[in-house]
Amino acid sequence: MLHSLTDGFFSSAVISYGGSPTDGGLPRLVVQRRPSLSPLIDDASTVGVISPRIGPTSHVTAVSRARGIFCAAVSNGVFSEEMLTIDGVDLPEGCTAALTEDGLVTSAGLIRVQRRAITKVRADDCRRLGLRLYCNVNNEREAAMGLAAGATGIGSVRSEHLSLEAGLRSLVVCYVTNLLCGRTTPDSIIREVVSKWIHQLTAVLDQAVAYCAPVAIRLADISLPEWLDDEQLELVEAHGHQADQLRGIVLAEFAWPFYGNLLYAICKAIRRSGIPPREVAVIVPFVSNGGQVAAVSRELPKQAAAAGCEAPPKLGVMIETPAAALQASELARLADWFILGTNDLTALVTGISRDTALALSSGLQVLFEVERLLRIAISEGRRTKPSLTIGVCGESAANSDNLATFAALGVDFVSPVPRLISRNAHDAYAADVGV
């Protein structure tokens, strides 16, 4: 069976096992043994992704949802060397399939698709509870979509996805891999990466300026197994790194020049867009101790000065590990924003990977254990810094059933992707501001 994680249908697609785009650019349904973002970015013909190793909060699912691409987890599936078999139905390379109301129709038979309810957030529901509605974005287009739909801020510009959108995946992989392996990256590659970062970040910030919206920009939270191919992963691990443990600020400790250049690009984009630096926060991902945040805090003013920015932007922390939640008091001394990342926090609390169908039951609702950690983080953070801005990102931010819980905890805003903001949110927002 397939468990649908996003909405959508397609009339015809060719089964592909994640290799090169199909001949003639035919629509393709990608079957993945392990999660990888490359088919979603490198090939515009991809209309769907299925895998036994994705769940509702996987990065692959998040990108698929933002792009409107069908994404499904596989249960009762068996991989042979050549193909995947689901419920006794073979999916050989190159066969055709259609996604209909009945399920995934192939020449070998019908595979059932269990569709989950796709929840959306309404601006008037947020307003009634005293919450602000922001949006998570990967590019300028999504920023425009979310802000036009009624979001009053951008809760996370996911800079690693921004890199993917800019066609930079191969250059970013080269840059990061070289740093991890002690090799030199040509200056021409670094200049191209930084230049495209500045261009895309400026375009997003221009949208924020047009709507007078505050913006949080998350530093790259790159999951190496999703970005690197098998040969590159072997190379990184041959140099003493455990690739699946290097994420967010943990990766930055081994690839600091990469993150320093990203900070410079953010500050340069702030200057070019004209947005006041106080309206932008740089968010440090996957934090587990205050020293990691302090390192960014020291670097940020240097990069702001180098970019000619009148002042550095604010600093924020992703609270997405239990360690960060339990050290909220210390982190609040360094940060102006807390972004509560419920996807990773839920996975780390339950011990269930984001990249598994087992997470189907834990991605939507805020679990009691997670709520306790959020309560600790918010109360300790605000005790140290009462002015702390606190928001929620992740799957749970798009579930309207969680809004009352977040409001009671003292959260300031929720930030789903634009496609999960109710289509009538703009009308509610316009009425509220008298447009």
Model pLDDT, residue 432? 45
Q: Which domain holds residue 287?
A: 123-433
Q: What is the CATH number of the domain that holds 170?
A: 3.20.20.60
pLDDT digits (tens, 9 = 90+) for 193-237: 999 999 999 999 999 999 999 999 999 999 888 888 889 999 999
206 in the same domain as 153? yes
Let me know whether 105 and 130 are in one domain: no
- Cα-atom radius of gyration of the chain, to the nearest Å? 21
Q: What is the model's pLDDT at position 403?
A: 93
Q: What is the pLDDT of residues 284-312, one digit of tens each?
A: 999 999 999 999 999 999 999 999 999 99
**C-beta separation of 233 from 243 below 8 A:** yes
- DSSP run (H or E) holding 290: helix 290-306
- Residue 326 identity: L
For residues 142 and 288, membership in a common domain is answered with: yes
287 and 161 assigned to the same domain: yes
Residues 21-74: tens digit of each pLDDT: 555 668 999 998 887 877 776 567 889 999 888 888 788 888 888 788 899 988
Q: Cα separation of 310 and 154, whole Å?
A: 22
Quote the pLDDT of residue 58. 82
151 in the same domain as 94:
no
- Residues 43, 139, single domain; the answer is no
Please list the ranges in the chain whose pLDDT falls under 70.
18-25, 41-43, 165-167, 355-365, 423-435
Same domain, 195 and 212: yes
- Say if residues 316 and 338 touch (Cβ distance below 8 Å): yes
Could you identify the residue written with the tokens 């999951």? 223
Q: How many domains does the chain contain in total?
A: 2
Same-domain pairing of 249 and 351: yes
Of 66, 81, 115, which marks where a domain is finished?
A: 115
Q: For residues 240 and 307, state if they share a domain.
A: yes
Q: Assess whether 274 and 304 both reside in one domain.
A: yes
**What is this structure's pTM?**
0.88
Q: Which of 115, 134, 163 is the last residue of a domain?
A: 115
Question: What whole-number distance in Å separates Cα of residue 366 and Cα of residue 395?
Answer: 10
User: Phi and psi dihedrals of 185, rounded to 5?
Assistant: -95, 130
Q: Which of 77, 98, 115 is the last residue of a domain?
A: 115
What is the rounded CA–CA span in Å between residue 48 and residue 226? 17
Same domain for 94 and 141?
no
pLDDT of residue 18: 67
Do 178 and 55 reside in the same domain of the chain?
no
Give the strands of the sheet with 280-284, arranged side by side: 132-133, 413-415, 389-393, 337-341, 314-319, 280-284, 215-218, 154-158, 135-137
Q: What is the CATH number of the domain that holds 67?
A: 3.50.30.10
